[in-house]
Amino acid sequence: MLTLSKQKQKQKHKQLLAVISLLLAIVSGSVLSAETKVLVLLSGESDIYRSLLLGLQSTTAATPETTITFVARQVDDENAKEVRWDNYAVIVSVGTKAARQLLKVPPKTPVLSVLVPKTTYESLLHDSLLHEKGGEEKGRDDLGPDQTLNRFSVIYVDQPYSREFVLARKLVPDLRSIGVLLGPNSSKNLPQLKEEARRHQLILNKVEVDETRQDNRDIRDLVRESNVILAIPDPVAFNAQRAKWLLYQAYQQRVAVIAFSKSYVDAGALAAVYSTPEQIGRHAGEVLQAMLRDPNYTAHSDFPKYFSITVNDSVAKSMHLQQPDLEQLRQEISQAELLREQRLGHGSPE
Amino acid sequence: MVHLSKLTPSSWDFKTRVFVLAVAPVVLVAVILSSYVASSRMQDVEQSLLDRGNALIDHMARMSEFGLFTGNQDLLTSLTQSALVDNDVSKVMIFDETHSVIASSIRSGDVGALSVKLASDDERNNDYLFIEKPIYDSGVQAFDFSEEFAVPSDNDVSRTHQPMGWVEVVLSSRSTKERRKEILLYSLLITLFGLIVSISLAVRISHGVTGPVRRLSLMERKLRGGDFGARVEVKSGGDLGVLEEGFNELARTLGRVDYQLKQQIKAAVEELTKTVAKLESQNRELDSAKNAALRASEAKADFLAKMSHEIRTPMNAVIGFTELLRKTKQNREQVEYTRTIHQSAQQLLNVIEDILSISKLESGTDRVQRMSFDVRNCLEDVVSMLGPTAHRKSLELVLLVDSDVPERLLGDPGRLSQVLINLVNNAIKFTPKGSVTVEVSLEALVDHVARLRVSVMDTGIGIAKGNQTDLFAAFVQADSSMSRRFGGSGLGLTIAKRFVELMGGDISFESELGRGSTFRFRVSCDLDVSTEISDYATILQHVVALIYDGNPFSRRAIRNNLLLAGASTFVSRTLAQVPAMLEGQDGLPQSYNVLILSLGASEISEPDLEECVVSIRRIYSGPILILVSREDYELSPTMVKDGMISSAVKPVRRDTLYLKLHTLSHQNKDHTGLDALRGGSPDLNSNLSFNKYHGVKLLLVEDNEFNRILVSTLLTQKGLCVELAGDGQQAWMAARAEKYDIILMDIHLPIMNGEEATRKIRTTDGPNRDTPVIALTADIFSDKQGGLTAAGISDFVFKPISEDKLFEKLDLWLWKNKASPQRDSALTSGLYQAQPIQEMLLEAEGSSVAPPPVPEHLLEKLYQELPLRRVSLADAIEKGDFKLLLEQAHQLNGVAGYFAFTDLALKARALEKAAASGNTREVAINYHAVSLAIETIVEEHGEE
């Protein structure tokens, strides 16, 4: 429900933003100049960010209607602090650190944040909104929280749970029960998990862990009770030790682990649905174009549109599972998501 | 006790060197290798323990990670238990993060490990090794974008680096230590074994090398010591074996060679001994033979001496009595017989004389004298002596001396004379007619050594070629028939040859039968450079002489002598040519101031000569010197009256010639040439005053009548007024009665001797107190003690009295206090004393007849005196009174010298010397020579 109300709000915000932008354009004399400058704020020097940026650039370059000039800045760069946000049409933040930086003092320029975990982004956004309210009190900002929200689009780094569920269903034929290990962040999404389990008619077993608790026995029990363990991204639940321990238990009891990352598959999980930085960058490029094209663009929160599937062959073999056609599997998942969106779109009130 | 030097490698013996060479590298390598291997092995063992421990603990750390994570104590305990499988592991413990023990296992029974304290990493207890390692949780990465999922406030990162526990392993190092000991032990054992094996091998090898070498060196020492039987045992193989065999072979060879050498030496020694013995016996024989020969020689000499005496004494008697017999009235037959007896006896004596000379020569007792002598005098003496003999045979005897022949030489004039006498005698003997020429020339003059060549040429019978070979051999005459014809012992040439050889010369001859012979000898004499030589070069400077001589040699001799004195000469070969030359018809200038007519024997009769002179006088008024070959020639009263004619006997002595010429020139008052001569020689002029001694009163004190006559004759001839005294008493009486200018005093006088008489004259106040008294003595040592001088004797004249010496002294003392022209230097007397020409000229002043200026009666007296003298000599010998003999001989010498019997004088002098030496044999030989000479003189006189 919350989601629906937000969407409405977003639309309103969009409209308002469009009006203001138009006005501004008239005043300034040129709203859409031939050169559009985009600031890319990177969280660090990691290759992941570079790959993503490359994906972004190549996507925008494919549509030559507008010339986009990317100015890349790192969060830790001293110059970044003096950057005048107003000079840019859109600011793209890459990574959690950049997103946090931007959301601390939100600019008036539309922002697209990528590569941020969903729970993290939500908490950051929450904090930012609170901050805006405080600023309103001081008379600094004339924009309301809705308007602010409307400027911030995001592409999460997480995969939607449905994809893992579908993958689990596809890989493990007689799937009945599913186990999840939840940490402080991921436990918030329990309802969605439950909803998905219900949808797939699966029993959902869960163990909630925190940083201090000694929960090895619980995890062993969880694995024992479930046909498949779905790994839900949470840094606390899936610290190195627990991730290992889980794999160890799963391996001992021949229980498949469906993961959210290629790394975990490499470590011993059966399979994973995940997005590469390029895929995310491509998605981000599409969103950026849309944002630049439509002055009244409504802010979106999206899961990665493009994704990949990987299977640990050794694990699959040891579990006597058939080697699936990964591409076909991906398409099936994509189609299932489309159908579901349509169904939701049909079913969802406008 | 090891000597210190043995420790230095340089002093090691061969054995030690070989041993060290073999062992040292092995020991070195073994020790280094084994210690290296042992230490590395021990390190390996330790390292392996450590490695095992580390490997174990790594394993444990990984394995216990899960157990620790899950808290599975059972799992951990089983893990620790499993670690104990390794025997070295004593204890394993696992701790959790709070260091409390979770699991531990200890080896049962290892009590030490329980009490081991926990220590830090790698720390080693004495027996234990501790290793500890932390256990980390490795974990897995679940996120692709882990950064995005990182919890900002999370301390996850530090947690992962915190160790979740520890593993500790305690390793026991006991077994390691045992292992190390074991290694050490094995290493030592192996090294020891290796060393023992290598040393024993080295010892064996060194024995194999040094043993033979030692044996060889031992053997070499034996060989060196002379043990050639030594052998070395041939044990070794290879090179050493060959060497050993070689040594044995060497020893065998050496032994063989040694043996052979010894044998050879032995044989040689034996032979040598034999030879030596033989030589010794030969030597003995030789010695005895030599002794026998010497004895024989002595016996021969003795025999000869005895024989000569034994024969000569009776022979003297025979001759003496024969002479006496001849003086008795005899008929013709008797005279003939007596003459034959006398002649035969004389010949016999000559033969004996020659034999004695020969034996004397052969015995080698003759020695050559070396004294200064006047060469020409010596030669002229001989020629003058033999002149009469030649003249008797009507032979011309010529002495031709080249002008370059030195005046004085050092040599033996006696020997020279004897040789010449023999040769000339021989020549005269074998020349029936013609001439005998003695030619003397200087062959060489090198470094003050003059080589004279004397040739005696005759025109005699010559010698057939076949008889020439043995001419100089003793007792050989050219023809045995000759001895019958010519008599003589045949020893003359032999003696001549021996004498020439004795003087270092040589003699040779050439002869042609019927044409004559030439005997030639050469002698070398040193020049006498010490004696002042008279310079004749200007004596006859202004004389221009015309010389006639039929004999070319004689002519040349005369001419040579004149030229030598600076005269100009012209010659005429024939007598007939003389007047023409004097007239100047031959175109030559008529400026002759002397005419010399040199006549051969029997060339012209006395009346003819007188006629010839008379005819010459018609065209020539100058001085004429007639030279004749007759001793008895006397100028005819006409010629004497002429006053410008003088005569001399050929061969004329050079000095005589000069004197005669000078006297003649002096007499030629009209002649400017002689005036010039006087003017040219003022000294001579003043001294040449006539009768220098005229009016000089002289007392001659002499007991010997003969001497008295002799000396007084000499003195009166010079114009002195001589009074005689026979003994000291008479002398003293005479001296008291009358004043004399000078007194000649014999020392040995009867009644009162000369010394006493002189003293009396000197001490008594008489007219002759300061009159010079010249002593006449034969004893040159008579005034040894100065007694005579003390007695008042002014000077001495030694007997035999030399005319020169005598007048020298007279001159000295007569004009002592006046301005004397004489030289003051006292000249020593001698037979061949040089006579300066000036003195000779003075001598010539009072005499127109010379030499010898002996009156006939004196000669007669001499001929009677000589045999008596001989008898007294013989008496003295018989008595063995050599002192007496010496005096007798001395007097005879003087007499003979005075009468120019050179041969006799020489022989008498030799006898005198022999008497002085006291040698009986010498005395005998010389006596016979004297005797023979006397015989010759007397005989010749008798023949006339």
Distance CA(B186)–CA(B52), nearest Å, equals: 24
Distance CA(B215)–CA(B208), nearest Å, equals: 11
Show the tokens assigned to B73. Answer: 């104590």
Interface test with A, best of B148, B153, B157, B158 (most A CBs within 10 A): B148
Label residue B316 left, alpha or beta by phi (over 0 means left) and psi (-120 to 50 means alpha).
Answer: alpha
Residue tagged 């007279």 (tokens): B810
pLDDT above 50 (res B752): yes
Interface test with B, best of A75, A238, A308 (most B CBs within 10 A): A238
Distance CA(B551)–CA(B258), nearest Å, equals: 89
The DSSP symbol for A160 reads: P
pLDDT of residue B904: 83
Show the tokens assigned to A107. Answer: 């600019």
The amino acid at residue A39 is L
Task: Quote the mean pLDDT of chain A.
Answer: 80
Query: What is the pLDDT averaged over residues A169-177?
Result: 88
Pairing of strands A228-230, A256-259: parallel
Q: Which residues of B touch A248 (CB under 8 A)?
A: 66
The amino acid at residue B6 is K
**pLDDT (tens digit, 9 = 90+) per residue, B509-524?**
888 888 888 999 999 8
The DSSP symbol for B515 reads: T
CB of A211 within 8 Å of a chain B CB? The answer is: yes
CB of B96 within 8 Å of a chain A CB? The answer is: no
The DSSP symbol for A188 reads: G
pLDDT bracket for residue A14 (50, 70, 90): low
Distance CA(B596)–CA(B577), nearest Å, equals: 13
Contact B809, B774 (CB under 8 A): yes
Interface test with B, best of A96, A114, A180, A244 (most B CBs within 10 A): A244
Cβ pair B149:A233 closer than 8 A: yes
Residue A206 distance to chain B (closest CA, Å): 19
Show the tokens assigned to B198. Answer: 């290598």
**pLDDT (tens digit, 9 = 90+) per residue, B291-333?**
888 888 777 777 776 666 677 677 777 777 777 777 778 888 8
**pLDDT (tens digit, 9 = 90+) per residue, A80-100?**
566 777 788 889 999 988 888
CB of A96 within 8 Å of a chain B CB? The answer is: yes
Contact A140, A290 (CB under 8 A): no
Cβ pair B142:A267 closer than 8 A: yes
Residue tagged 């450079």 (tokens): B529
Q: How buried is B224 (Cβ within 10 angstroms: 0-12 exposed, 13-18 middle, 19+ buried)?
A: exposed
Sign of the dihedral through C-alpha B156, B157, B162, B165 = positive
pLDDT above 90 (res B943): no
Q: What stretch of H or E contains B416?
A: helix B413-429
**pLDDT (tens digit, 9 = 90+) per residue, B261-284?**
999 999 999 999 999 999 999 889
Radius of gyration of chain A (CA): 22
Residue B69 distance to chain A (closest CA, Å): 9
> Following DSSP, what letter does each residue of A9-46 receive, concatenated?
HHHHHHHHHHHHHHHHHHHHS-SS-SEEEEEEEESSS-
In chain A, alpha helices (H): 2-28, 47-61, 96-104, 118-138, 145-151, 161-171, 190-200, 216-225, 240-252, 262-267, 277-293, 313-318, 326-347
pLDDT above 50 (res B675): no
Q: Which of B628, B555, B621, B559 is nearest to B593 (CA)?
A: B621
Task: Quote the mean pLDDT of chain B.
Answer: 77
Distances (CA, A) of B333 to B323, B328, B330, B338, B339: 16, 13, 8, 9, 10
Residue tagged 């000599």 (tokens): B873
- Closest B-chain CA to A120: B149
Q: Which residues of A touch B138 (CB under 8 A)?
A: 240, 244
Distances (CA, A) of B265 to B250, B275, B448: 21, 15, 59
Residue B120 distance to chain A (closest CA, Å): 29
CB of B602 within 8 Å of a chain A CB? The answer is: no
- Closest B-chain CA to A44: B147
Pairing of strands A90-94, A35-42: parallel
The amino acid at residue B604 is I
Contact B690, B666 (CB under 8 A): no
Q: How buried is B805 (Cβ within 10 angstroms: 0-12 exposed, 13-18 middle, 19+ buried)?
A: buried
Q: Which residues of A touch B139 (CB under 8 A)?
A: 239-241, 243-244
Facing residue for B151 by CB, picked from A235, A241, A262 = A235
Distance CA(A25)–CA(B137), nearest Å, equals: 60
Residue A252 distance to chain B (closest CA, Å): 13
Facing residue for B147 by CB, picked from A46, A239, A248 = A46
Distance CA(A206)–CA(B730), nearest Å, equals: 214
Cβ pair A117:B149 closer than 8 A: yes
The residue with greater pLDDT, B15 or B525, is B525
Query: What is the pLDDT averaged over residues A319-336?
Result: 87
CB of A163 within 8 Å of a chain B CB? The answer is: no
Cβ pair A267:B140 closer than 8 A: yes
Weakest mean pLDDT among A38-47, A124-133, A163-172, B240-249? A124-133
Q: How many residues does chain A have?
A: 350
Q: Which residues of A touch B148 (CB under 8 A)?
A: 95-96, 115-117, 120, 157
Cβ pair A243:B160 closer than 8 A: no
The amino acid at residue B772 is P
Cβ pair A115:B154 closer than 8 A: no
Query: What is the pLDDT averaged over residues A110-133?
Result: 84
The residue with greater pLDDT, B488 or B916, is B916
pLDDT above 90 (res A272): yes
Contacts of A241 (CB under 8 A, 6+ apart): B69, B137, B139, B160
Query: What is the pLDDT averaged over residues B747-769?
Result: 82
Interface test with B, best of A51, A219, A241 (most B CBs within 10 A): A241
CB of A157 within 8 Å of a chain B CB? The answer is: yes
Residue A268 distance to chain B (closest CA, Å): 9
- Residues in a beta bridge with B436: B397, B458
Distance CA(A317)–CA(B58), nearest Å, equals: 31
pLDDT of residue B694: 72
Residue A271 distance to chain B (closest CA, Å): 12
Show the tokens assigned to B350. Answer: 């000559």
Distance CA(B51)–CA(B62), nearest Å, equals: 16
Omega within 30 of 0 (cis) for the link into A64: no
pLDDT over 90 for what percent of chain B? Answer: 4
pLDDT bracket for residue A1 (50, 70, 90): very low
A 10 A CB-CB count for B83 gives: 20
Distance CA(B385)–CA(B937), nearest Å, equals: 10
- Closest A-chain CA to B156: A239
Distance CA(A245)–CA(B68), nearest Å, equals: 12
pLDDT bracket for residue A113 (50, 70, 90): very high
3-class DSSP state of A268: coil
Q: Which of B536, B535, B555, B537 is nearest to B545 (CA)?
A: B555
Residue A199 distance to chain B (closest CA, Å): 27
Distance CA(B868)–CA(A73), nearest Å, equals: 188
Residue A190 distance to chain B (closest CA, Å): 18
CB of A117 within 8 Å of a chain B CB? The answer is: yes
Omega within 30 of 0 (cis) for the link into B853: no
Cβ pair B142:A248 closer than 8 A: no
**pLDDT (tens digit, 9 = 90+) per residue, B685-694?**
333 334 567 7
Contact B509, B518 (CB under 8 A): yes
Contacts of B907 (CB under 8 A, 6+ apart): B926, B929, B930, B932, B933
Residue A84 distance to chain B (closest CA, Å): 26
Cβ pair B148:A239 closer than 8 A: no
Cβ pair B143:A238 closer than 8 A: yes
pLDDT of residue A24: 43
**pLDDT (tens digit, 9 = 90+) per residue, A142-155?**
445 556 677 889 99
Contacts of B862 (CB under 8 A, 6+ apart): B706, B854, B895, B899
pLDDT of residue B126: 65
Distance CA(B257)–CA(B274), nearest Å, equals: 25
Residue A175 distance to chain B (closest CA, Å): 23
pLDDT of residue A9: 59
Distance CA(B758)–CA(B769), nearest Å, equals: 9
> Following DSSP, what letter does each residue of B154-221 receive, concatenated?
--HHHHHHS-SEEEEEEEE-HHHHHHHHHHHHHHHHHHHHHHHHHHHHHHHHHHHHHHHHHHHHHHHH
3-class DSSP state of B228: coil
The DSSP symbol for B593 reads: -
Contacts of A127 (CB under 8 A, 6+ apart): A103
